[in-house]
Amino acid sequence: MEKSLKITEIFYSLQGESNTVGLPTVFIRLTGCPLRCSYCDTAYAFSGGEKQTIASIIDQVDGFKAKYITVTGGEPLAQPNSHELMKRLLDKGYIVSLETSGAIDVSLVDDRAVKVMDLKTPASAEMDKNIYKNIEYLSEKDQVKFVIADDKDYEWSKSIMQQYDLANRCEILFSPVMGDMNPRLLAENIINDNLPVRFQIQLHKYLWDDAQGK
């Protein structure tokens, strides 16, 4: 029997985050997430969705004739069949990135996929869900994202960077929580502290005033 996944939406847009920001990308948003972050902008993906076979999902992706695919959520790894989806997309030659919270084991993720792992900061109210062992499975093509809401988050993120020597393992992203952290202040802090990180703003929210994070 063909494996299936519960899907909230599949859409084509510009990548708003990560090191492929601005590139046309197909987003596959899976339904469901075990976390409830305080700043979540995709709560509409917590439930509902439509059950679709992996073959059907790939057919829809093929129709966009894109190169880049992002598997996102919710939390994609909460559905075990997400691994099969990524494998089959990679086998077809797509460049696949996975947006994951880091609260679920990433050791089984296909090595060809780019892992964008969002370590939860104190302001997220889900910091205790971080699985730091996941860091062992990151390589130089992967990324760790810190979503920063305040000064405490910023200092915590710096300490985690140092504790796990992240700058020598993968790329690091610092992103302000829209409406909480002043983007200019975060940028200036990064410059003043000479941090080896990529500052990012969620591009889609500026282009389309997209409060839901597309």
Q: Hey, which residues does 10 pair with through a beta bridge?
A: 28
User: CA-CA distance, 69 to 4, in Å (whole number)?
Assistant: 18
Place of tokens 């988050």: 153
Q: What percent of the chain has pLDDT over 70?
A: 96
Within 7-149, where are the H helices?
A: 54-64, 82-91
User: CA-CA distance, 213 to 204, in Å (whole number)?
Assistant: 7
pLDDT of amino acid 207: 75
Q: What percent of the chain has pLDDT over 90?
A: 87
pLDDT of amino acid 34: 96
Which distant-in-sequence residues (6+ apart) come within 8 Å of 193 by Cβ?
158
pLDDT of amino acid 210: 62
In contact, 109 and 98? CB cutoff 8 Å? yes
DSSP secondary structure string, 141-205? T-EEEEEE-SHHHHHHHHHHHHHTTGGGTSEEEEEEPTTTS-HHHHHHHHHHTT-S-EE---HHH
User: CA-CA distance, 51 to 40, in Å (whole number)?
Assistant: 23
Q: Which two tokens stand for residue 144?
A: 């760790």
pLDDT of amino acid 147: 97
pLDDT at residue 211 tops 60: no
The residue type found at 127 is M
pLDDT at residue 16 tops 50: yes
Note the pLDDT tens digit of each residue in 29-83: 999 999 999 999 899 999 999 999 999 999 999 999 999 999 999 999 999 999 9
Band (pLDDT 50/70/90 cuts) for residue 96 is very high
pLDDT at residue 204 tops 80: no
User: CA-CA distance, 144 to 131, in Å (whole number)?
Assistant: 13
Per-chain mean pLDDT for the chain: 94
Note the pLDDT tens digit of each residue in 106-150: 999 999 999 999 999 999 999 999 999 999 999 999 999 999 999
CATH architecture under which domain 4-208 falls: Alpha-Beta Barrel (3.20)
- Residue 159 CB-density burial (10 A; 0-12 exposed, 13-18 middle, 19+ buried): exposed
pLDDT at residue 214 tops 50: no
Which distant-in-sequence residues (6+ apart) come within 8 Å of 81 by Cβ?
3, 4, 5, 54
Whole-number CA gyration radius for the chain: 17
